[in-house]
Amino acid sequence: MSTRTLEQLQAMKRAGEKIACLTAYDASFAHWLDAADVDIALVGDSLGMVVQGQASTLPVTVEQMVYHAACVARGCRQAYRIVDMPYKSYDTPEHALTNARRLLQGGEAMMVKLEGGAPAQLAVIESLLGAGIPVCGHLGLLPQSVREPGGYRVQGREPEAAERILNQAQALERAGVGLLILEAVPAALGRRVSEALQIPVIGIGAGVHCDGQVLVLYDLLGITPGKRPRFSRDFLAGAGSVEAALRAYVQAVKAGEFPSAAESFN
């Protein structure tokens, strides 16, 4: 098995083939992502919640991300591996460069992901790209901004907010970002952003018209305690095994059968 490349993922968008992405935090699950032909393994800082039991992603450190990224890299050799830069690890260009290099070297990341698209964020992203580090953007609901007003809810419902997200997405693409994650926005906005950009837009709670989908692995397996987010689906129920659940997810994404309208925001 050869490792997926960013060029292949971008070609999938042009060919109209949907991209299936899942989070992974350890080697065993990473192995099953590969076995199910998942295109992208995202070592998300959601591990702060689903692995560590924290109330948010804010306490996650770079060192912890390096540890989990290295675990995932040992288990998976086919999926393209993106690693989240945790809260406060990219507040200046210098800080971002140092920490991204740790994720690339210690965690074998192929790309790093940063939340946000404000002008200050763009400067940070440009310095990473200038150093040859591939970057994934993340717009819409930004879990690292939970403490800010209007933080933890569907984003881009009002026309001005939708316009701002679209403009930020275009600015990220112009800066050279290779992929974009779009979280918790109305399906119509997910579609608009996906159509406006050349780079793949991977949605989570952003409707079926995105170029790909991502879910938190533990949500897909129905093992995250508490209420399941509206936009996730328990693929393990009825599947019989983890491998079958992951295959069912990939198949549903590729066929454009996930998410349904009831699993999207309007």
Question: Contact at 8 Å (CB) between 120 and 93?
Answer: no
115 is in an annotated binding site: yes
What whole-number distance in Å separates Cα of residue 93 and Cα of residue 174? 18
Residue with tokens 């040992």: 74
Q: Is 45 annotated as a binding residue?
A: yes
Which range in 38-46, 47-55, 181-189, 219-227 contacts Na ion by CB under 5 A?
A: 38-46
Q: Which residues 200-259 are close enough to bind ligand KIV by CB under 6 A?
A: 204, 214, 216
Q: Which does 49 bind (CB under 5 to 8 A by kind): ligand KIV, Na ion, none?
A: none
Cβ atoms of residues 40 and 20 within 8 Å: yes
CB of 180 to ligand KIV, least distance (A): 11
Other Cβ atoms within 10 Å of 98 Cβ, number: 13
Q: Which of residues 75-94 bind Na ion (CB under 5 A)?
A: 84
CB nearer Na ion, residue 42 or residue 197: 42
- Give the nearest residue (CB) to ligand KIV: 44
> Which of 159, 209, 202, 157 is closest to 183 using CA atoms?
202
Task: Kindly give, in sequence order, each residue whose CB lies less than 8 Å from that of residue 53, ignoring residues fewer than 6 positions away.
Answer: none
Q: How far apart are CA 182 and CA 203, in angstroms?
A: 5
Nearer to Na ion, 39 or 84 (CB): 84
Please, which of residues 90-149 interact with ligand KIV by CB under 6 A?
Answer: none
If the CB atoms of residues 216 and 248 are measured against ligand KIV, the closer one turns out to be 216
46 binds ligand KIV (CB under 6 A): yes
First to last CA, the chain: 39
Q: Which of 158, 160, 163, 183 does the annotation list as catalytic? A: 183
Query: Token digits for 226?
Result: 């508490």
Ramachandran category for residue 258: left, alpha or beta (phi over 0 → left; psi -120 to 50 → alpha): beta
Instruction: Give dist(CA 173, CA 168) in Å, integer.
Output: 9
**Catalytic site includes residue 183:** yes
Annotated binding site: 45-46, 84, 113, 115
Under the rule (CB under 6 A), what is the footprint of ligand KIV? 23, 42, 44-46, 84, 181, 183, 204, 214, 216
Return binding residues for 3-methyl-2-oxobutanoate: 45-46, 84, 113
Footprint on this chain of Na ion (rule: CB under 5 A): 44-45, 84
The catalytic residues are: 183
